[in-house]
C-alpha cells in the first residue's frame, strides 16, 4: 500500500540518546544509534522504499519522564520540541511532530502542550508513561486530580495523547527479579502501560472529558483481549468494586482510545483487535528505529484484511485523528 502514515516513530537528541542504550546489546547498538539520530536521510529512503508517505515523530523513551527535577525536565522537553520543529519545517510533507511534555509539573506540561500545538503546529503529544518527580523512586500517574487541568487543555485543543511505554522503576520491578529478559518490550512495557490506561479509565477522566483521544501502541498493550474479562469480573457481582467511572471499561476503551500496530506485526492479533475496536480505531505504525520499517510495511501490505480496512488503518484514520489533510 502506498501512502501509509506511521505515528509511533522516534528520534533522540544528545541529552536523551543514552536512554535507549540499555535496551540493546552492544553488537546492535551502533546500528540503533545511527537510526535514532537520523531524520532526513536513511529514514526518508526507507519510507520511500516501503510506501510510507509520512511519519509523526516523537522523542525516545523514557527521556523527559525519567528526569525527577522539574526544571530540567521542562528544559529537555522544550529543547527536544524546538529541535523537532526545525526538522519538521524542512519536510512538512513527510514529517509532523508529537510533543514531549514535562508531566512532572502539570501546569508546565499544560503550557508546553499549548505552545507546541499553537506555535509549533504539532499534532498532539507522546508521553513515555508515568513520570518520576523529585527523586528516582517517586512516580506519578496521570489519573491523579492535579492533572485534570492538563486534560482539559488537551480536550480543548482537540489533539491526541499517545501513552507510550516505559519500564517500572526498580522498586516496582521486583516481580521481574531473576527474569530481566521480561523487561522492556518483551512484557514489562505492555503491563506498565495497560495498568496506566486502566487507571485513566477507572478514574472518571472520560466522564469529565468525553472528547479526549488516547493512543496506545503495540496493538493496545494486550488490552483488546482483556476487556471482556475486566468488565465481566467487575460486573457479575453487584458493587464488587467502587471507582469513580460511570461506565464499563470497554465503553471508554472503544470510545476514547485508538491503537496502533507499532512493534506488533501479527495478523491474528490485528484481527482480534479489529473485532473489539473496529477498523476505524486502529492505525499503522512501525516503532522505528526500534523495529524495522520493512518488516512492518511488508506485513501490513500483505495482511489478509479488506482493502477498505487497509486504507483506513494504513492512512485514513491517522489523517482524520491528527488532522493531517
Q: Which domains does the chain have, with CATH numbers?
A: 4-321 (3.20.20.140)
8, 99, 257, 155: CA torsion to nearest 10:
-160
pLDDT at 54 (0 to 100): 98
Residue with cell 503495540: 218
The C-alpha atoms of residue 52 and residue 142 are separated, in whole angstroms, by: 33
Residues composing the chain: 325
Instruction: Tell me the pLDDT of the chain (325 aa) as tens digits.
Output: 999 999 999 999 999 999 999 889 899 999 999 999 999 999 999 999 999 999 999 999 999 999 999 999 999 999 999 999 999 999 999 999 999 999 999 999 999 999 999 999 999 999 999 999 999 999 999 999 999 999 999 999 999 999 999 999 999 999 999 999 999 999 999 999 999 999 999 999 999 999 999 999 999 999 999 999 999 988 777 777 788 999 999 999 999 999 999 999 999 999 999 999 999 999 999 999 999 999 999 999 999 999 999 999 999 999 999 999 8
Q: How many CB atoms lie within 10 A of CB 175?
A: 11
Bridge partner list, 55: 6, 95
Active site residues: 287
Output the pLDDT for position 237: 77
Cβ–Cβ < 8 Å for 215, 260: yes
Distance, in Å, from the CA atom of 206 to the CA atom of 204, rounded to the nearest integer, reads 6
**Residue pLDDT, tens place only, 169-193:** 999 999 999 999 999 999 999 999 9
Under 8 Å between Cβ of 107 and 152: no
**Residue-wise pLDDT tens digits, 257-275:** 999 999 999 999 999 999 9
Amino acid at each position: 500500500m502506498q501512502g501509509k502514515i506511521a505515528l509511533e516513530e522516534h528520534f533522540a537528541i544528545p541529552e536523551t540518546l543514552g536512554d535507549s542504550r540499555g535496551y540493546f546489546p552492544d553488537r546492535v547498538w551502533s546500528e540503533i544509534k545511527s537510526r535514532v539520530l537520523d531524520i532526513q536521510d536513511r529514514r526518508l529512503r526507507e519510507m520511500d522504499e516501503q510506501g510510507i508517505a509520512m511519519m509523526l515523530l516523537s522523542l525516545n523513551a523514557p527521556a523527559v519522564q525519567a528526569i525527577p527535577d522539574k526544571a530540567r525536565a521542562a528544559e529537555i522537553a522544550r529543547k527536544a520540541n524546538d529541535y523537532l520543529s526545525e526538522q519538521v519545517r524542512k519536510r512538512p510533507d513527510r514529517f509532523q511532530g508529537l510533543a514531549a511534555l514535562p508531566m512532572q509539573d502539570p501546569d508546565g506540561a499544560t503550557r508546553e502542550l499549548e505552545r507546541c500545538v499553537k506555535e509549533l503546529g504539532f499534532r498532539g503529544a507522546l508521553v513515555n508513561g508515568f513520570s518520576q518527580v523529585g527523586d528516582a523512586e517517586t512516580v506519578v500517574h496521570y489519573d491523579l486530580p492535579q492533572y485534570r487541568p492538563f486534560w482539559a487543555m488537551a480536550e480543548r485543543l482537540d489533539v491526541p495523547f499517545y501513552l507510550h511505554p516505559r519500564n517500572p522503576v526498580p522498586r516496582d520491578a521486583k516481580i521481574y527479579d531473576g527474569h530481566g529478559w521480561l523487561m522492556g518490550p518483551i512484557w514489562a512495557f505492555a503491563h506498565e502501560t495497560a495498568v496506566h490506561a486502566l487507571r485513566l479509565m477507572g478514574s472518571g477522566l472520560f466522564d469529565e472529558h468525553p472528547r479526549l483521544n488516547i493512543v496506545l501502541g503495540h496493538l493496545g498493550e494486550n488490552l483488546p483481549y482483556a476487556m471482556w474479562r475486566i468488565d465481566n469480573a467487575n460486573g457479575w457481582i453487584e458493587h464488587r468494586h467502587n471507582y469513580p467511572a460511570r461506565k464499563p471499561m470497554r465503553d471508554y476503551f472503544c470510545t476514547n482510545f485508538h491503537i496502533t500496530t507499532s512493534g506488533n506485526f501479527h495478523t491474528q492479533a490485528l484481527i482480534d483487535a479489529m473485532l473489539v475496536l473496529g477498523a476505524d480505531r486502529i492505525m499503522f505504525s512501525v516503532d522505528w528505529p526500534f523495529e524495522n520499517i520493512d518488516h512492518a510495511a511488508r506485513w501490513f501490505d500483505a495482511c489478509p484484511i479488506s482493502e477498505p480496512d487497509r486504507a483506513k488503518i494504513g492512512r485514513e484514520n491517522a489523517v482524520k485523528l491528527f488532522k493531517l489533510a
